[in-house]
Amino acid sequence: MTVVRHSAPGRVNLIGEHTDYNQGFALPIALPARTVVTFAPSDSAEMTVHSDRAQAPERFPLDTTPGAVTGWAAYVAGVIWALRRAGHQVPGGTLTISGGVEMGAGLASSAALECAVLGALLRAGGLRLDPMEQARIAHRAENEYVGAPTGLMDQLAILFAQPRRAQLIDFCHLTLRPVTFDPDAHGVTLLLINSHATHRHAGGEYAERRASCERAATALGAASLRDVQHRGEAALAEVADPGAARRARHVLTENRRVLDTVEALQANDFAAAGRLFTASHTSMRDDFEITTGHIDLIAEAATDAGALGARMTGGGFGGCVIALVPAPRRAAVEAEVRRRVGEAGYREPTITHITAGDGPGDRATP
Ligand code: GLA
């Protein structure tokens, strides 16, 4: 049987955080960095998985069930479990993972791994599944096998990615619309500032935010916050629990900002997009309370030094900040971020210029 290779990128969400499980909007792009999976199928009823980030391989039967495999290999086992549950045959063999997407950085390394493994298994089995179905299978692996209550954004962002495009995702109607995103063509640079402070989503904070949003929706007699989007923030006066009301305010205002960002990008108005980024960060800091002092400092330093706007990207509690920067200000922004982070005693960040990359495929490099 022939060896196959499949790779999937990480994602950077431009704006629209914690909106996916509230049936709202988000606007992600794919990263150039990719997780690469090589699969050598065999007649075995087992899967052996090697990773360049783990010392020892993991081995488990193809009929694995939730709870049997934990840690990083659970994402792999979960994909196999979800594929089989959807009625597809999965061959056994040896999977080798080399991860180009940093873990715990808010760049969807888990979804990149799921999508790369899924693509390799489909390729080896000669199976074709449309990207929406692939997203559902990868998402089910994460929710039901791994047990992380995440939304569908990461899988959709990865599977539908296109170069120089962001995807406007409507999670209520499950539709995606490509939006041109090529700031470099307009003298603007998108910087990815990795704090190297890692988070863990399976942890309680993410689930707690999700539960607060659900409480707010229930208090308003709605199935999801999306159902009250048209009423605006005024609707939240009816939510008695002030904590839940603040979480919901983030979601409602963030949905608006996503749509406003799309308009700004369509008009090539990066200054307006930058202001929306900064407003999103403020909302995540004050209403949703998912930033950290370290992340706030990076975002502030970037805007103080001339970025058009900056915001944390991803689930929160660490990870990365993105900043839209006029190209001539790039060096000054980088220097100021490094200076302020160093002065505060945090770890030196990694700062890279990124562009919107391509979706999954068989290549090993960007
Ligand atoms: C994580 C989750 C996503 C989404 C973001 C926050 O990346 O996997 O589903 O909720 O956090 O926007």
Q: Which of 18, 107, 174 to mutate to test the pocket of ligand 1 (most atoms within 8 A of CB)?
A: 18
Please report the atom of ligand 1 found closest to the CA of residue 315: 11
- Is 154 a residue of the active site? yes
Q: Which domains does the chain have, with CATH numbers?
A: 4-180 (3.30.230.10), 183-353 (3.30.70.890)
Q: Which of 139, 154, 290 to mutate to test the pocket of ligand 1 (most atoms within 8 A of CB)?
A: 154
What letter represents residue 365's amino acid? T
* Residue ranges of the chain with per-residue pLDDT less than 70: 200-203, 365-366
169, two tokens:
């995702």
User: Pairing between strand 188-194 and 175-180?
Assistant: unpaired
20, 154, 227, 287: which one is catalytic? 154
Please report the atom of ligand 1 found closest to the CA of residue 152: 9
- Distance from the CA of 108 to the center of ligand 1, in angstroms? 8
For residues 267 and 356, give the distance between their C-alpha atoms in angstroms, rounded to a whole number: 18
- Distance from the CA of 117 to the center of ligand 1, in angstroms? 20
- Distance from the CA of 47 to the center of ligand 1, in angstroms? 28
Please report the atom of ligand 1 found closest to the CA of residue 26: 12
Res 202: pLDDT: 42
Res 103: pLDDT: 87
Please report the atom of ligand 1 found closest to the CA of residue 21: 10
Model confidence over 90-136: pLDDT tens digits?
999 999 999 889 888 999 999 999 999 999 999 999 999 999 999 99
- Distance from the CA of 17 to the center of ligand 1, in angstroms? 7
User: Pairing between strand 320-326 and 188-194?
Assistant: antiparallel
Best CA proximity match to 6, nearest among 106, 103, 79: 79
Residue owning the nearest CA to atom 10 of ligand 1: 18
Please report the atom of ligand 1 found closest to the CA of residue 106: 7
Res 200: pLDDT: 61
Res 38: pLDDT: 97
- Distance from the CA of 93 to the center of ligand 1, in angstroms? 31
Q: Which stretches of 152-193 are DSSP H helices?
A: 153-159
DSSP string covering 302-366, please? Answer: HHHTT-SEEEEESSSSSSEEEEEEEGGGHHHHHHHHHHHHHHTTPPPPEEEEE-----SBS-S--
Residues framing ligand 1 (Cβ under 6 A): 13, 17-18, 20-21, 108, 150-151, 153-154, 201, 314-315
Query: Other CB atoms closer than 10 Å to residue 71's CB: what's the count?
Result: 10
Element (H, E) at 180: strand 175-180
Best CA proximity match to 18, nearest among 270, 220, 214, 203: 214
- Distance from the CA of 60 to the center of ligand 1, in angstroms? 28
For residues 213 and 359, give the distance between their C-alpha atoms in angstroms, rounded to a whole number: 31
What letter represents residue 117's amino acid? V
pTM surpassing 0.95?
yes
Contact 34, 101 (CB under 8 A): yes
Residue owning the nearest CA to atom 8 of ligand 1: 150
